[in-house]
Amino acid sequence: MTLLTRRLSIHGRVQGVGFRWALGAEARALGLRGWVRNRSDGSVEALVSGTPEAVEALTAWAHRGPSVAFVERVLCNDDPVTETPAVAQGFEQRPTF
């Protein structure tokens, strides 16, 4: 099975609106592994790994986010990642970085 790992950087009104929780729920529903966290600059960052179709579906979702969010832009990076994105439990929320 081919896997894709993608780092997302989501900008806009994405903190204080349940974005991390909603992204995590969506990622788990799609069978993705990885993590999501708030950034001190006001953005949300996620590292996701799974089938290319599931990663693309989550990326499309991230452009909308939950109904109370306002997403201005989503930056994606599919370059090889030195960190192992797999989380034994599946998908986790991490502290603000």
Residue 38 falls in the annotated catalytic set? yes
The catalytically annotated residue of 38, 64, 73, 77 is: 38
Q: Is the dihedral of CA 49, 45, 62, 94 positive or negative?
A: positive
In the chain, what is the greatest distance between 2 CA atoms, to the nearest angstrom?
37
Distance, CA of 54 to CA of 62 (rounded, Å): 12
- Among candidate residues 20, 37, 39, 73, the one labeled active-site is 20
Amino acid (1-letter code) at residue 96:
T
Active site amino acids: 20, 38
